[in-house]
Structure 1
Amino acid sequence: MALEERGVFLFIVILMTALQQVSYAAVYEVGDSAGWTTLGNIDYKKWAATKNFQMGDTITFKYNAKFHNVMQVTHSMYKSCNASSPIHTFTTGNDSIEIKNHGHHFFFCGVPGHCEAGQKVDINVLRDSSTEAPTPSALASATVPSAHVPAPSPNSAPFISLKGTFVAMGLTMAILALA
């Protein structure tokens, strides 16, 4: 009987560990169904302003690679449409870029005249206070730890990560083997 109770307890531990590891990340297609283009007078600034970008989100640029590209650039290069030394250049026509840090991420099309025509976007990822390290005074006053699972961004498909689940399963199997 004790072995069955341990099994149930370990199952609950595994389930809770898996649930704590679930995270949501959004995938955004720049320009939505219009994509990355100079046609149709798409206002990429307005498009970006309607999104709530978070670290871990992915932005996808879909375009005709014969006529466009994507360059990640600095703020000053973005403002002046200077394509002379981009941070990264993407040319596949279906480029996915994961946002790994907060702040502004500047992109434009490096084809002459396209940036000036408005084919540029500023992806601004706001700092999320819930993911920052707590101050010593906050730690001293904390009494109950809590897990934070960020809400999915609007117009997003959730990405579920179960990292740690296999570790928990391995530990459970080892404990059961000892029992």
Structure 2
Amino acid sequence: MASNNLLVILAIVAVVLPSVTMATDYWVGDSNGWTNGTDYQTWAQDKVFYVGDKLVFNYTMGKHNVFKVNATGFSQCIIPPSNEALTSGHDIIPLMVPGKKWYICGVGQHCAQFGQKLVINVESGAPAPTPTKNSAHGILISGYQFFMAAVLAVAAMVMA
């Protein structure tokens, strides 16, 4: 009897855990990347960011950079010291703490003149699992969940 209860618990964990622990990587600007001429506030407006998600800034190395700033630095395009710049061309920023986050490009007048800046709000709670459209990753997870549930159901029947 105790082994059946354990199998039920394991089945629930196997089905639920992968979808709950999945963080999202947000490619800032989608296919445009981090560049001039993209309205990043419009890009971010329909997204909900959670602790554990990551921002991925893609750009041509040497043509742009990324600075994390405060609200004043954001609104006034105040560029921090150059040693604080992210400059790899593929900068990944994990969102570890809830609250507002501000990012700007510090090259030339990219922030002030071209609006190359992003502000987001990071939520602390985990998102409810939602299906993703046309996502091979989502199909893989669904297949994994189905497989694990089937294996545990067969094991429960064999042990009963």
**Structure 2 residue ranges without an equivalent (≥5):** 142-160
Which residue of the other structure, out of 125, 129, 133, is the alignment partner of 1:151? 129
CA shift in 2, pair 1:35/1:153, >3 Å: farther
- For 1:21 and 1:76, how far apart are their aligned partners in 2? 40
Which residue of the other structure, out of 46, 52, 67, is the alignment partner of 1:50? 46
**Structure 1 residue ranges without an equivalent (≥5):** 132-147, 161-179
User: Within the alignment, does 1:14 sit opposite 2:10 as a pair?
Assistant: yes
User: Within the alignment, does 1:83 sit opposite 2:79 as a pair?
Assistant: yes
- For 1:153 and 1:72, how far apart are their aligned partners in 2? 31
Which residue of the other structure, out of 25, 29, 50, is the alignment partner of 2:23? 25
SS at match of 2:9: helix
- For 2:70 and 2:82, how far apart are their aligned partners in 1? 8
Return the TM-score normalized by structure 2: 0.70
State the percentage of identical aligned residues. Answer: 33
Q: Which one has the largest radius of gyration?
A: 1
CA shift in 2, pair 1:70/1:120, >3 Å: same
- For 2:88 and 2:131, how far apart are their aligned partners in 1? 26
User: Within the alignment, does 1:93 sit opposite 2:64 as a pair?
Assistant: no
- For 2:55 and 2:94, how far apart are their aligned partners in 1? 6
Which position in structure 2 is the counterpart of 1:74?
70
2:69, 2:80 within 8 Å by CA — same for their partners in 1? no
Deviates more, 1:9-18 or 1:80-89: 80-89
| RMSD across aligned positions (CA) | 2.9
Offset from partner CA, 1:36-87 (integer Å, 9 cap, x none): 011xx21111111121222222111000112111111111111111113489
* Alignment of structure 1 residues 154-165 onto 2, 5 Å: none
Offset from partner CA, 1:68-112 (integer Å, 9 cap, x none): 111111111111111134895311111111212222110011112
